[in-house]
Amino acid sequence: MAGKVGVGLLGLGTVGGGVASILQNPSERHPLVGELELIRVAVRDLNRPRPVALDESLLTTDPSAVIQDPAVDVVVEVIGGLEPARSLILQAIAAGKSVVTANKAVIARHGQEIAEAAAAARVYVLIEAAVGGGIPIIEPLKQSLGGNRINRVSGIINGTTNYILTRMAEEGAAYDAVLKDAQELGYAEADPAADVDGLDAADKIAILATLAFGGSVDRSAVPTDGISGLQGVDVDYANQLGYGVKLLAVAERMAERMPNSDDPLPLSLRVQPTLVPKDHPLAGVNGVNNAILVEGDPIGRVMFYGPGAGAGPTASAVVADILNIAGIRKASDGPGKVDPLLAASSWRPCSLVDSGDIRQRHYVRFKTKDAPGVIGNVGGCFGQRNVSIQSIVQFNASDAGAEIVVITHEVSQRQMNEALEAIQALPEVSGLAAHLGCL
Amino acid sequence: MAGKVGVGLLGLGTVGGGVASILQNPSERHPLVGELELIRVAVRDLNRPRPVALDESLLTTDPSAVIQDPAVDVVVEVIGGLEPARSLILQAIAAGKSVVTANKAVIARHGQEIAEAAAAARVYVLIEAAVGGGIPIIEPLKQSLGGNRINRVSGIINGTTNYILTRMAEEGAAYDAVLKDAQELGYAEADPAADVDGLDAADKIAILATLAFGGSVDRSAVPTDGISGLQGVDVDYANQLGYGVKLLAVAERMAERMPNSDDPLPLSLRVQPTLVPKDHPLAGVNGVNNAILVEGDPIGRVMFYGPGAGAGPTASAVVADILNIAGIRKASDGPGKVDPLLAASSWRPCSLVDSGDIRQRHYVRFKTKDAPGVIGNVGGCFGQRNVSIQSIVQFNASDAGAEIVVITHEVSQRQMNEALEAIQALPEVSGLAAHLGCL
């Protein structure tokens, strides 16, 4: 392909503005940036103030005019939300345009439909900005780790909750107070549910799992627990036991899969507040930073760390995707052939295991009467259900009662639930006050 | 390109064996691995035991027979050393074959010659395995960060020295004892000079700088200081002051470069033992792990972490490169066109600044008489040369004398040297006992 690569932008908010700003200032960046040309930009309101100075003639309120413009080779969707984003992405694919999007919600829910349309049209849909902000994680998963059998992808992939958890840990502050502060500072939305309830992280781990294991997963079936119920006392106890608390998203294979079998690969996905040992690489990831750990054979364990959100980092990821499309078009004589690594089509079926079969370590805190033998009785209930315990510690014993914190070895959710039921039936146990994961 | 992609291996040591093992066991990896076919393997001795079972008919003692085999599309050089590796790489390029190599010594010294030959022949020379073992760092620099103006690349890029430094810090052990142990465990060579003198890290930072800043640098001009002179007492003092000691390799731009100027971009490169604040992302990188931090605009700071050496991780990186070549050939109708991101040709001249102009913070330790006023006199010498001090601390005062440790703010090497000369001329200072970098 000769000449410039035409870029059409759908949306000119903070990310769209960041992308436009890079395209307008190619100096000091890779020279291929200078071969990208911003052709048209769809905005909702022509008269709103812009984060970046743009020639008025580029603007339109009609997204289809951007998509259908013959000079537009790549359509960048940075509107967000499910609709009209999904329809516009499909419209661009149907028009034979490659698409770059930062939209994790659309990709997590409609990724398979979009990928199938892209494969049929032989175009790319690239999503580096959808997970981990500026951190290169999508492209490395696709282009640098293909020789591995991936066993596990886990990480801190929501900056808002990590900011809140970091401040709770460092200041001993309560969740509500830190959330309010985060909202005032712009780190949390006025309606923080998508972040603090773990929904955003669940979108992202579903996307990472699809790329790491080669098949799409059912986003709606990912067990998801957020941080809105997390109490400062558990952050404090975890700290005393040598752990930090992080909102962790995990995707792991649950079985060796026989070669040549057509059975789906069983995967376990989950999002939950999780104790992370202080010497673990993820434990030092603080503030709005994100980090993703990939474990595979033969590579071992690699981690990708950086700013998980923000206009600049996200724009960096969007431009990386545009550059990849521009670069590969230079190697090709024309449309009709795609690089299978960059296209990253599904290559096998995957399925989520029943949540009872998810295996992990657990942290639980019980409120109990300060009666002799309570530790023995709690420990006995775990033992009878074959739940092996790593530590059991009593905190805050007083006339009003005590708190018992248990960290288990790896067990299935089913075993754990049975043991918890039995323990809560003990007369000296007044309740289950907290239940978190543990690495 | 239809059919399988033929791979020819030059060398069947630990890395070559690891690569062969992945190619022979494609199950559970990206399906493109199954489209790679090992065609021929050059070994030094046909009768030596192999790390992997291979059909005898694949083996030859003639590397040229591998390179010239018409079924070989990609030549993988894992012999190591400067010659015959350099000549064989050039021979493969001349034969129109793309090359994958793990050979940092050849690329650091002959990278420009090799890149020019590859550009003329329109083939790829990919080097993911040359830096950071299995960590994806070369491909992300080329394919995921091109929208950024890179300001700085720094990292822990030698596993042997990081293993030694980690044990010195954790056990308070002396350098010589840990080195001996590392040699017995196979983490250090019998002749450890390339690692402990920083030469290996200098090769790697020269390669990273070339990719990050777009132009080749003079490897022989990189100021390089290893860890063989490092004393345990400085690791201990650094710890007390809130720092870890790491062998850090740094490449940074030294000036804003005017657009449209043809002057070379001035860069500062160095390898030296460096104090790293304990809350810095690089401080937690322990043992044989490596990590590379990339700082740019607008991305901010991203870090890549993982196993910096070993047969498995290195083989993972080599196979990633082969897959990238195989993938892009599927998108192309034939040879003659290359993806400029993956090819990563130089795009501007770079030059190293005079070592006197390198600016950084410093850690120095003086042996002094325990005389009143010595701290004031040392501080005065720094002040007169405009070297601003962050902290000055006296350790171990006794009749035999004292030790004074100074950490400066950022100053030029030239200013620092002048101040050190003046201080060493003070009658109450008996000598400069240590001089390290500081982040």
Tens of pLDDT, residue by residue over A280-339, are 999 999 999 999 999 999 999 999 999 998 899 999 999 999 999 999 999 887 667 899
- Other C-beta atoms closer than 10 Å to the C-beta of A384 total 11
Type of residue at B208:
L
Cα A7 from Cα B65, distance rounded (Å): 47
Burial code (b: 16+ CB inside 10 Å, e: under 16) for A84-115 equals ebbebbbbbbebebbbbbbbbbbbbbbbeebb
DSSP B19: H
Helix B104-121 and helix B199-213, axial crossing angle in degrees, nearest 10: 30
CATH of domain B357-438: 3.30.70.260
To probe the interface with A, which of B145, B299, B346, B348 has the most A CB atoms within 10 Å? B299
Helices (H) and strands (E) in chain A, counts: 14, 17
pLDDT value at position B280? 93
| Average model confidence (pLDDT) across chain B | 94
> Chain A: nearest CA to B252, how far in angstroms?
14
User: What are A75-108's pLDDT values in tens digits?
Assistant: 999 999 999 999 999 999 999 999 999 999 999 9
Report the residue count for chain A: 439
Output the six-digit token pair for A407.
């960290």
Type of residue at B383:
G
Helix B159-171 and helix B232-240, axial crossing angle in degrees, nearest 10: 70
Q: Is A51 on the interface with B (CB under 8 A)?
A: no
Torsions phi, psi for A283 (to 5 deg)? -65, -30
Which of B146, B332, B338 is nearest residue A29 as measured by Cβ atoms? B146
Biggest CA-to-CA distance, chain A: 82
Contacts of B304 in chain A (CB under 8 A): 302-305
Interface contact A323-B281, CB threshold 8 A:
no
Which of B18, B33, B298 is nearest residue A298 as measured by Cβ atoms? B18
Q: Is B302 on the interface with A (CB under 8 A)?
A: yes
Output the six-digit token pair for B54.
């291979």
Sheet containing strand A125-126, strands side by side:
A59-60, A36-42, A5-10, A74-77, A98-101, A125-126
Report domain extents, chain B. 5-134+312-347, 138-303, 357-438
- Other C-beta atoms closer than 10 Å to the C-beta of A211 total 24
Interface contact A305-B304, CB threshold 8 A:
yes
Interface contact B143-A145, CB threshold 8 A:
no
Instruction: State which fold the A138-306 domain adopts.
Output: Dihydrodipicolinate Reductase; domain 2 (3.30.360)
Q: Give the chain B residue whose CA is nearest to the CA of A139.
A: B144
Output the six-digit token pair for B312.
């498995």
Is residue A246 part of the annotated active site? The answer reads no
- Among residues B56, B74, B58, the alpha carbon closest in space to that of B7 is found at B74
Q: Is A315 on the interface with B (CB under 8 A)?
A: yes
Cis peptide before B223 (omega within 30 of 0): no
Contacts of A295 in chain B (CB under 8 A): none
> Chain B: nearest CA to A35, how far in angstroms?
12
Which of A33, A307, A319 is nearest residue B300 as measured by Cβ atoms? A307
Tell me the pLDDT band of B257, cut-offs 50, 70 and 90. Answer: low
Torsions phi, psi for A171 (to 5 deg)? -110, -5
The pLDDT of B257-263, averaged and rounded, is: 64
Cα A243 from Cα B384, distance rounded (Å): 48
| Residue A348 clears pLDDT 70, i.e. is over it | yes
Output the six-digit token pair for A389.
């315990």
Q: Is B31 on the interface with A (CB under 8 A)?
A: yes
**Catalytic-labelled residue, pool A97, A104, A142, A204:** A204
The β-bridge partners of A407 are: A363, A391
The pLDDT of B65-70, averaged and rounded, is: 98
Torsions phi, psi for A11 (to 5 deg)? 110, 135
> Chain A: nearest CA to B408, how far in angstroms?
27
B138-303 is classed CATH 3.30.360.10: yes
Q: Is A339 on the interface with B (CB under 8 A)?
A: yes
Interface contact B328-A317, CB threshold 8 A:
no
> Chain A: nearest CA to B269, how far in angstroms?
19
Q: Give the chain B residue whose CA is nearest to the CA of A303.
A: B305
Tell me the pLDDT band of A2, cut-offs 50, 70 and 90. Answer: low
Task: Specify the CATH architecture of the domain A5-134+312-348.
Answer: 3-Layer(aba) Sandwich (3.40)
Which of B128, B135, B143 is nearest residue A139 as measured by Cβ atoms? B143
To probe the interface with B, which of A141, A144, A151 has the most B CB atoms within 10 Å? A144
Confirm if A219 and A352 have CB atoms less than 8 A apart: no
The β-bridge partners of A438 are: A275, A361
B5-134+312-347 is classed CATH 3.30.565.10: no
The pLDDT of B67-75, averaged and rounded, is: 98
pLDDT value at position B256? 64
| Average model confidence (pLDDT) across chain A | 94
Task: Determine the 3-state secondary structure of A325 from DSSP.
Answer: helix
Q: Which residues are CB-neighbours of B133 under 8 A, at least 6 positions away?
A: B159, B290, B306, B307, B308, B309, B310, B313, B314, B317
- Decide which of 3.30.70.260, 3.40.718.10, 3.10.129.10, 3.40.50.970 is the CATH code for A358-438: 3.30.70.260
User: What are B127-183's pLDDT values in tens digits?
Assistant: 999 999 999 999 999 999 999 999 999 999 999 999 999 999 999 999 999 999 999
Task: Determine the 3-state secondary structure of A7 from DSSP.
Answer: strand
| Residue A1 clears pLDDT 50, i.e. is over it | no
Write down the ipTM of this complex: 0.95
Output the six-digit token pair for B189.
């060579």
> Chain A: nearest CA to B389, how far in angstroms?
29
Which of A257, A306, A327 is nearest residue B341 as measured by Cβ atoms? A327
Cα B432 from Cα A108, distance rounded (Å): 60
| Residue A259 clears pLDDT 70, i.e. is over it | no
* Burial of residue A48 (number of CB atoms within 10 Å: 0-12, 13-18, 19+): exposed
- Among residues B394, B407, B417, B402, the alpha carbon closest in space to that of B363 is found at B407
| Residue B48 clears pLDDT 90, i.e. is over it | no
Q: Is B30 on the interface with A (CB under 8 A)?
A: yes
Confirm if B77 and B9 have CB atoms less than 8 A apart: no
